[in-house]
Amino acid sequence: MRITGENLDETILRNERIDRQVQEHIRFIERRLIKWKSLPIEEQALSILKEHNLVEIPIPDDNWGGAIRKFHSDKVVPIINTAQPRIYQYFIYWHEIYHLTEREELSIHSDENYEISTEFDLNERKADYFASQMIFGYSDLHDYFYSLKYDDFIVKIAHCMKSFKAPYKAVLIQLYQIAKKNQNEQLQRTIKLYFDKQYTIQDWRVVFQEYALDDNLIKPSYVTNLNSIINAIKSKIAQHPDVELFQDNLKVVKEWEAKYKNVQRELKERYDG
């Protein structure tokens, strides 16, 4: 379900429905996977993904942020689209971590009533809600928003995006959820008014630069990183130097790497030009 101002209240109801399971999953992640709690939240996510064979490639598709791919050996690999703004990549880190780890949690969970939904739309909402809760944590976005001494709503949202390193829609949904809980009807109306407005990277660059915010957050990184696959194949070659299949696989992956590095250069030139 694509979230709009019209179905925003329905989204909040769905968040309430899945909140208990998502909070349990957060506790699972914090106990088992987060080793470096002193790191910024996006660095925590990146360290988890790297331990699960992270692949980073620039794909010129505004609607594709990332995925989990399963290979013949049953190994799952998270893929992140680095042609997306960094601030969106950080959100996708946690979204994909949810998908990466949900089955692992199910296998050890002792609660008979705990189940992972097979409904695609609800499962995607769980992943998004999980990502949002990991990013915003126990901080009070509502209080921070009202502490900002600006009259312009979008300027205040830009400061929230910068401070929490969260994309526009994630900030609005989280802020709306708190406003609804606090019965702040005026803020709810304002959020709905702005929710469906479209802002380009260039629009955000103008706002971020005008208010001395770190505009690297709304720029793509364009990273090409296939090292996890390359290193895994090289390890196989070291163990079985006479098996030509591994050499052929390495050649194919190297060709992928060259292809995406070429895409990386083209996208950078287009962005900078």
Give the mean pLDDT of 24-33: 88
Range from 34-48, 111-125, 192-206 that averages highest in pLDDT: 192-206
Residues 15, 177: contact at Cβ < 8 Å?
Answer: yes
Amino acid making up residue 265: R
Q: What angle do CA 63, 90, 208 make, to 5 degrees?
A: 85
Is 194 in the same domain as 159? yes
Is residue 3, in this structure, part of any structural domain at all? yes
Q: For tokens 């660059």, what's the residue?
A: 205
Is 264 in the same domain as 190? no
pLDDT band, residue 30 (cuts 50/70/90): confident
Give the mean pLDDT of 195-216: 95
Range of the domain at 102: 1-138
**pLDDT given for residue 38 in this prediction:** 81
Is 178 in the same domain as 78? no
Residues 195, 4: contact at Cβ < 8 Å?
Answer: yes
Is 92 in the same domain as 103? yes
Is residue 49, in this structure, part of any structural domain at all? yes
Strand order across the 55-57 sheet: 55-57, 76-81, 66-70
Is residue 222, in this structure, part of any structural domain at all? no
171 closest CA partner among 205, 120, 131, 126: 131
**pLDDT given for residue 111 in this prediction:** 46
Residue 263 neighbours by CB distance under 10 Å: 17
Q: Which of 118-132, 136-150, 175-189 has the lowest mean pLDDT?
A: 118-132
Is 53 in the same domain as 173? no
Is 69 in the same domain as 116? yes
Instruction: Give the phi and the psi of residue 49 in degrees, each rounded to 5.
Output: -65, -40
pLDDT band, residue 119 (cuts 50/70/90): low
Is 114 in the same domain as 53? yes
The structural domain count of the chain equals 3
Distance in angstroms (rounded) separating the CA atoms of residues 56 and 21: 29
Q: Could you say which of 70, 104, 138 is where a domain stops?
A: 138
Residues 54, 228: contact at Cβ < 8 Å?
Answer: yes
Radius of gyration of the chain (CA): 20
Q: To the nearest whole number, what is the mean pLDDT of the chain?
A: 89
Is 197 in the same domain as 243? no
Is residue 12, in this structure, part of any structural domain at all? yes
The three-state secondary structure class of 15 is helix
Distance in angstroms (rounded) separating the CA atoms of residues 21 and 80: 25
Q: Could you say which of 90, 107, 138 is where a domain stops?
A: 138
Instruction: Judge whether residue 204 has pLDDT over 90.
Output: yes
Instruction: Judge whether residue 117 has pLDDT over 50.
Output: no
Is 145 in the same domain as 98? no
Is 128 in the same domain as 157? no
Instruction: Give the phi and the psi of residue 212 in degrees, each rounded to 5.
Output: 55, 40
Give the mean pLDDT of 18-39: 87
Q: How many whole angstroms from its chain centre is CA 107?
A: 24
Q: Could you say which of 104, 138, 172 is where a domain stops?
A: 138
Is residue 210, in this structure, part of any structural domain at all? yes
Q: Which of 13-17, 86-90, 238-242 has the lowest mean pLDDT?
A: 238-242
Residues 192, 8: contact at Cβ < 8 Å?
Answer: yes
Is 233 in the same domain as 210? no
Amino acid making up residue 18: I
Q: Which of 108-117, 205-214, 227-236 has the lowest mean pLDDT?
A: 108-117
